[in-house]
Amino acid sequence: MKRGLKWDTILRSKLFWAVVAEFLILLVGFIIRPDFLNIQIRTLEDGTRVLFGTPIDILNRSSEITIIAMGMTLVIALGGTDISVGALVAVSGAIALKFLRWDVLEYTTPGDYSVMPFVYVLVVPLVVCTLMGLFNGTLVARLKIQPIIATLILMVAGRGIAQIVTDGKQFTTQYAPFKFIGNGSILGIPLPIIITFVVVAAMVVFVRKTSYGMFVEAVGINPNASRVSGIRSAVIIMIAYVLTGLLSGISGLIYSSRIISNDSNNAGLGYEMDAILAVVLGGTSMTGGKFTLVGTVVGSIIIRTITTLVFYFGIVSEAIMAFKALIIAGVIVLQSEPVRRAIARRREKRHINLGGELHA
Amino acid sequence: MSGVILEMKGIDMAFPGVQALDGVDFSLRAGEVHALLGENGAGKSTLIKCLTGVHRMDAGTIFLEGKKILPNSPQEAQHLGISTVYQEINLCPNLTVAENIFIGRQPMRRGQIDWKTINRRSQELMRLMGVDIDVTLPLTTFSIAVQQMASIARAVDINARVLILDEPTSSLDEHEVARLFEVMRDLKARGLGIVFITHFLNQVYQIADRITVLRNGRLVGEYMADEINKLELVTHMIGKDMNVIYDLKKAPQEEGAPVVLEASNLGIPGKVEEISLHVKKGELLGFAGLLGSGRTETAEMLFGVVKPSKGSVSMNGEKLVASSPLDSIRRKMAFCPEDRKRDGIVAELSVRENIGLAVQALRGFMHPMKPQEQQKLADRFIRLLSIQTPDAEKKVGELSGGNQQKVILARWMATQPDLLILDEPTRGIDVGAKAEIQRLMLEMCIGGMGIIFISSELDEIIRCANRIIVMRDLEKAAELDGEDCQQADILAIIANEETEEAMAE
Amino acid sequence: MPEIRSKPFRRLFKPNYLMVYATLGIFLLLYLFGAIMYGKIGFTSIRTFLLLFSDNAYIGISAVGMTMVLITGGIDLSVGAVASLTGMIIAYGTTVMGLHPLLCFAFALLVGVGLGLLMGACVQYLNVPPFITTLTGMFLARGVTSLISRESISIKHPMIDALAGIKFYLKWPNAAGEWVKIKPVASIDLNTIVFLLMIIIGAIILQKTRFGRNVYAIGGSVQSATLMGLPVARTKVLVYGFNGLCSVLAGIAYVLYVKSGWNLALSGAELDVISSCVIGGVMLSGGVGYMWGTLLGVLLKATIPAIITFNGTMNSWWAKIFTGVLLLLFIIIQRAVVASSSRTARKAETAS
């Protein structure tokens, strides 16, 4: 009986189904292309050895979304959403490239250098994005504005700001330290994976080793009771949005480093959607409350795996959305309350039947 | 007596893990008020929800005027003539009063909604209920009582034959209850069968013709209201020996005990007039008065849930400045709010987390309690308050009302406050748990804690309080010594203003 | 309780209407600003005013459906993608497959309304949040559009040309008493007519039908609506279906406007539509909103790029920033209105 109950909790857990879904998708990939799961070490022209293979690529390319989704998980657990993250990615890239630009008019040779100390290139975008997160947080926590609209403001205005920063131009850079962020590797592991790992680890530690996570859940479940219990929910909410802003900035640096350019129109386009999906696929409910950061990582990887898989079908990149939609729809239906309840009930019935048979 | 209009036979209904109803019978005659009584969890709500099609019962039959019915939704039930008015106002706050009365069955003219007729007839219906208001204003403009009248107007106007009133009086004051009863008598005279669910036994005797008592999902019995006395009734409801409950001793008072809490001239215009009070160490201060008399508002001001616009509060001689719950907790104050579900429990968090919540909030999230520390804290209070839960990891939302209340109590006891404010801690929980909470309260007092105890039930206050403040019309009407205080005294004070008012009219 | 006796007066000042007045006021202010700054170069001409309608008809048509969805407390992110899919169906159908546009319209309607109903059913029966459901719908519609073609397909069909060519020129009598076109030439095109027609239809549905009132009730409180016996499930599903219809009509309007289909057309249009509604006083929390407000919201939002165009020196991306500022402004006004109405509610309660 005890074992049966445990199985029921596992079957009811959304995270479990997310992991199952990921394995199924990987299995499909493996059946189509047996080399889908291969990982090998390749030596690049400059002699560095890097891990290579689809799983590595999936992890690498999911970095931007995973990082943002860490913050998004908290925001969603608090019953909110932040749809400005994509625009913040564009802002972050625009500022970084603004500082890194080589400008044909000012400099005679296209230089591999930064016009600003490199630390500014890293810090200023992050500070600006953090402040934008603070703006979102203030609207939501202090002025009690619905999160979707509050963040809609920066979603709309953010790309405009990014364009103003770069005067509507697209810069490119060859500055090696900057290129390294998105394209380099340490001990054969692509740097974005390492950054993501560090961010996820830091977030998990922050959330679970302090009581921040419990407060987020408390506020997400019952804001009134939390307030009466002495939790300063405004501060809790504010931190979640500020963190999301900061993480969007980090994600923007990785993205712009990958493409060694800024693109105010397309950088981070649709990231808010992907990040929210990652959170929901991972098992955190859109209505707030309990959350799981690890689940979100799984969710983000699912999204990337689907994309990668669809590439293997040789389908045009824009059409990937359709497949993403179908698979996501499948997962969402599986995770939805009525369906999970139905599955749980069927198991219960079977238990009873089995019990009956044993007695007979 | 007229014939049976509604008959429910052998109703079974199970939820995962609980047999909520077990072969319950219930019958209702036309032109009677039939009270449905029982402790929380007795199955009253479930029975009603089976009748109105919210739940689907597992077994049993329902006959409405001799015909077998099986409503699948509240809609269907309504079509059949079974209307329900719930405890929480189930109307739409963004619509006008008139529209709330007519939505879903609006009179149409030339294919369009006939707003004129809707507004005119609503005005008439509300007048019949003794409420004269502008029905074209949004529902939220009006008091809960008016909203309740609107939902009854709606229910009755749908040619209801059976009207179910699910704890309609719990947020009404005495006047409003009286008005509601008038309306009910009027409806009764028109031949409606009324099912009346309430926690207030006095009201049962005022209005009900027959009484059905449920306990633990089973039918205990059906009685004529004039043939059963209160004590018998209560015994049927709780099935426990009453002596256990009434054996309580007040906390002894020391001469010259230091003042813990002192409030002076605290007030918010329109909510509470200036009020001054103090609580001494080891003293239990009772707060009596009708709902809406300013009791809860005063408590909320003391604790900083709402900011008072004037006056000051000091704890142990130190003035509270920030006027926020956290500030008050820091000064060793604690507050169990009235609405347990809304302001108390965090339903999806575990018992352990709920108990630790206030202590943790006090420390700040960057200084977390260690897991073992949390576990120990939770275990200690589960034992101390005998909270009935399989373990500390159970979600609080899955516990019964009384146990939830104990968890909240534990949350505050864990902060080791010098002053504890309890706003209706015994409301809506079963009688056994009630007595336990009263005993706990007194034990804490003896341990030196100052307590402010707010309750609607006078005998409860008289039984426990060392001193009693009576609230009336948003201000402090009197302060009485708890030792030799009679229920009649308090009632006289509460009623005083009303007689004056009646004379003025 | 102090009662204001003159009823029409008070009814005009219901707190819910205040938002619409705010929209109107700011629209007039902005228009006045444009008139003062750029009146000389034609900002105040009827032509410019009518262009606000015809250039934004597809946003406006979609906003009609969106308003209803938002009033129920939902949201629909798929509108841009569905409109784009409609455009692609029409373009591919007529140009590549040689089908009659009407057949394509019908097919697009089938797809759009079908998807809308499906999403509504998902929201209602599977309890999937609208945001997620319609996001998936958006991905699906975009993806399918891209599957049909990644190239922009231009549409050349006499019927499309004819529909796009429908224009009613505004005329006035000249000195000789003959009716001549006003100058600068101003006309009302089919898209504008459809837009205004949809606004009127939407307003009638919302104010004069039971269905419309149920939409408000659901937005006010789903639980109450259910317990009052209103057909919540049916209403919700139909609202999303109706929104699908509006998206398809918006897609057709867009086709008539640009005469081509493209898989990336109208990306981000859902934000324009939602912003227009919010600026028009529709509350994202549900239960509050008016079609006339949405109409004003569309116009107000359209006036910003118009002014920037007339300015000539400013970059188009300023429009985004101004829209953001406008959103902020409206959100703060909404807050203030909600706060003040709950204050009056409290006052009324203590007084009664």
How far is the CA of C210 from the CAs of A321, B12, C254, in angstroms?
A: 38, 37, 32
Cβ distance C101 to C157 under 8 Å? Answer: yes
- Check CB contact under 8 Å for C221 and B91: yes
Partners of A215 on chain B (C-beta within 8 Å) are: 360-361, 365
Range list of β-strands (E), C68-174: 153-154, 167-169, 171-173
Bridge partner residues of B319 (DSSP): B314
Whether chain A has a CB inside 8 Å of the CB on C137: the answer is: yes
Amino acid letter, residue B70? L
Cβ distance B482 to B250 under 8 Å? Answer: yes
ipTM of the complex: 0.83
Give the separation between CA A51 and CA A41, rounded to whole angstroms. 5
Give the separation between CA B435 and CA B413, rounded to whole angstroms. 18
| Chain C residue with Cα closest to A136 | C328
- Check CB contact under 8 Å for A230 and B358: yes
First to last CA, chain A: 18
Range list of β-strands (E), C165-278: 167-169, 171-173, 179-181, 187-189, 260-261
Q: Per-residue pLDDT tens for C122-178? A: 999 888 888 888 988 988 998 899 888 888 898 888 888 888 888 888 888 888 888
Partners of C284 on chain A (C-beta within 8 Å) are: 146, 148-149
- Check CB contact under 8 Å for C230 and B103: yes
Given a cut of 80, whether residue C200 has pLDDT beyond it is yes
CATH, domain A18-37+53-354, list 2.60.40, 3.40.30, 3.40.50, 1.10.3470 = 1.10.3470
Partners of B90 on chain C (C-beta within 8 Å) are: 221, 223-224, 227-228
Q: Per-residue pLDDT tens for A154-207? A: 988 998 999 888 887 888 877 788 888 888 888 888 999 999 999 999 999 999
Cβ distance C247 to C269 under 8 Å? Answer: no
Cβ distance A218 to A79 under 8 Å? Answer: no
Range list of β-strands (E), chain C: 153-154, 167-169, 171-173, 179-181, 187-189, 260-261
**C18: CB partners within 8 A, 6+ apart:** C337
Whether chain A has a CB inside 8 Å of the CB on B71: the answer is: no
Count of Cβ atoms closer than 10 Å to residue A176 Cβ: 11
**C319: CB partners within 8 A, 6+ apart:** A160, C304, C305, C308
Minimal CA–CA distance to B32: which of B219, B274, B212, B234? B212
Show the DSSP H helices in A62-146 as ranges.
63-77, 85-100, 118-137
Of C142, C284, C320, the CB nearest to A149: C284
Amino acid letter, residue B231? L
Give the separation between CA B155 and CA A140, rounded to whole angstroms. 39
Whether chain A has a CB inside 8 Å of the CB on B362: the answer is: yes
The CA-CA-CA angle for residues B246, B249, B252, to 5°, reads 165
Instruction: Give A270→chain B minimum CA distance, Å.
Output: 32
The domains of chain B, with CATH numbers, are 4-241 (3.40.50.300), 259-332+418-500 (3.40.50.300), 341-416 (no CATH)
Q: Which two tokens stand for residue A259?
A: 């493409």
Residue with the bigger pLDDT between B53 and C339: it is B53
CATH, domain C7-341, list 3.40.50, 2.170.150, 1.10.3470, 1.10.357 = 1.10.3470
Q: Per-residue pLDDT tens for C244-288? A: 999 999 999 999 998 888 888 888 888 899 999 988 988 888 888
Give the separation between CA A47 and CA B27, rounded to whole angstroms. 89
Q: How confident is the model at residue C72 (pLDDT cuts 50, 70, 90)?
A: very high
Give the separation between CA C70 and CA C172, rounded to whole angstroms. 41
Q: Which backbone phi and psi does C189 adopt, to 5 degrees?
A: -100, 175
Q: Which backbone phi and psi does B14 adopt, to 5 degrees?
A: -120, 140
Bridge partner residues of A189 (DSSP): A186
Task: Name the A residues in 285-304 with CB < 8 Å from any C CB.
Answer: 286-287
Q: Please classify residue B176 by burial: count the beta carbons closer than 10 Å to its beta carbon, then call 0-12 exposed, 13-18 middle and 19+ buried.
A: buried
Q: Which backbone phi and psi does A73 adopt, to 5 degrees?
A: -60, -45
Identify the residue whose tokens are 């606000």: C52
Q: What share of chain C is helix, strand, coil (3-state, %, to 5)?
A: 75, 5, 20
Residue A141: DSSP 8-state: I
Amino acid letter, residue C189? D
Interface with chain C: mutation pick from B103, B129, B133, B147, highest number of C CBs within 10 Å = B103
The CA-CA-CA angle for residues C126, C109, C272, to 5°, reads 75
Whole-model pTM: value is 0.80
Whether chain B has a CB inside 8 Å of the CB on C340: the answer is: no
Tell me the HSE value of B81 on the side-chain side, using a 13 A CA sphere: 16
Partners of A236 on chain B (C-beta within 8 Å) are: 365
Whether chain C has a CB inside 8 Å of the CB on A336: the answer is: yes
Of A81, A153, A324, the CB nearest to C139: A324
DSSP string over C22-68: HHHHHHHHHHHHHHHHHGGGTTTSHHHHHHHHHHHHHHHHHHHHHHH
The predicted structure's pLDDT at residue A291: 92
- Check CB contact under 8 Å for A231 and B337: no
For chain C, the chains sharing at least 3 beta-carbon pairs closer than 8 angstroms are: A, B
Q: Per-residue pLDDT tens for A182-192? A: 888 888 889 99
Minimal CA–CA distance to A180: which of A167, A166, A170, A190? A190
The predicted structure's pLDDT at residue B148: 83
Count of Cβ atoms closer than 10 Å to residue B499 Cβ: 10
The predicted structure's pLDDT at residue B168: 79
Minimal CA–CA distance to B214: which of B16, B427, B34, B434? B34
Average pLDDT value for residue range A236-246: 96
Q: Per-residue pLDDT tens for C201-256? A: 999 999 999 999 999 999 998 888 888 888 899 999 999 999 999 999 999 999 99
Give the separation between CA B430 and CA B33, rounded to whole angstroms. 24
Instruction: Give A213→chain B minimum CA distance, Å.
Output: 9
Q: Which two tokens stand for residue B270?
A: 């329109």
**How many interface pairs between B and C have CB atoms less than 8 angstroms apart?**
96
Residue with the bigger pLDDT between B293 and A217: it is A217
The predicted structure's pLDDT at residue A74: 96
Give the separation between CA B42 and CA B18, rounded to whole angstroms. 11
Identify the residue whose tokens are 């008019």: A105
Q: How confident is the model at residue A14 (pLDDT cuts 50, 70, 90)?
A: confident
* Helices A233-258, A176-183: inter-axial angle, 10-degree rounding: 110
The predicted structure's pLDDT at residue B41: 64
Interface with chain C: mutation pick from B52, B82, B86, B94, highest number of C CBs within 10 Å = B94
Kindly list the domain boundaries of chain A, sorted by start residue: 18-37+53-354
Partners of B335 on chain A (C-beta within 8 Å) are: 228
Count of Cβ atoms closer than 10 Å to residue A115 Cβ: 16
Given a cut of 60, whether residue A106 has pLDDT beyond it is no
- Greatest CA separation for chain B: 80
Q: Which backbone phi and psi does B165 adopt, to 5 degrees?
A: -110, 105
Give the separation between CA B306 and CA B268, rounded to whole angstroms. 9
Q: Please classify residue B149 by burial: count the beta carbons closer than 10 Å to its beta carbon, then call 0-12 exposed, 13-18 middle and 19+ buried.
A: buried
Give the separation between CA B215 and CA B217, rounded to whole angstroms. 5
Instruction: Give B262→chain C minimum CA distance, Å.
Output: 27
Cβ distance B355 to B433 under 8 Å? Answer: no
Q: Which two tokens stand for residue C219?
A: 């937005």
Minimal CA–CA distance to A154: which of A88, A247, A238? A88
Whether chain A has a CB inside 8 Å of the CB on B411: the answer is: yes
Partners of C347 on chain B (C-beta within 8 Å) are: 270
Q: Which backbone phi and psi does B36 adopt, to 5 degrees?
A: -110, 115
User: What does each of the 505 residues of chain B score in pLDDT, given as a tens digit?
Assistant: 458 889 999 998 887 656 788 889 999 998 899 999 876 667 888 888 888 888 888 888 999 888 888 888 877 888 888 888 877 778 888 898 999 999 888 888 888 899 999 999 999 888 887 788 888 888 887 877 788 888 888 888 876 789 998 887 766 777 778 888 888 898 888 888 999 988 777 788 888 999 998 887 888 888 888 888 777 777 777 665 444 445 567 777 777 788 888 888 888 877 788 888 889 888 899 988 766 677 888 888 899 888 888 888 888 888 887 778 898 898 899 999 887 888 888 888 999 999 999 999 988 888 888 888 889 999 998 888 888 888 888 888 888 777 888 899 899 999 989 999 998 887 766 667 778 888 888 888 888 899 999 887 777 888 888 889 888 777 888 888 877 777 777 777 776 644 444 444 3
Chain-centroid distance of CA C182 in Å reads: 29
Number of H helices, E strands in chain C: 14, 6
Could you give the 3-state DSSP secondary structure of residue B30? coil
**A108: CB partners within 8 A, 6+ apart:** none
The predicted structure's pLDDT at residue C9: 58
Q: How confident is the model at residue A356 (pLDDT cuts 50, 70, 90)?
A: very low
The CA-CA-CA angle for residues B466, B469, B470, to 5°, reads 135
Of A139, A146, A316, the CB nearest to C150: A316
Q: How confident is the model at residue C107 (pLDDT cuts 50, 70, 90)?
A: very high
Average pLDDT value for residue range C10-21: 72
Could you give the 3-state DSSP secondary structure of residue B254? coil
Given a cut of 60, whether residue C3 has pLDDT beyond it is no
Identify the residue whose tokens are 């000064």: B331
How far is the CA of B44 from the CAs of A195, B38, B390, in angstroms?
A: 57, 7, 26
Give the separation between CA C197 and CA C192, rounded to whole angstroms. 8
Whether chain A has a CB inside 8 Å of the CB on B417: the answer is: no
Whether chain C has a CB inside 8 Å of the CB on A265: the answer is: no
Q: Which two tokens stand for residue B229?
A: 């006395």
The predicted structure's pLDDT at residue B497: 46
Whether chain A has a CB inside 8 Å of the CB on B390: the answer is: no
Instruction: Give C103→chain A minimum CA distance, Å.
Output: 24
Average pLDDT for chain C: 86
Chain-centroid distance of CA C38 in Å reads: 27
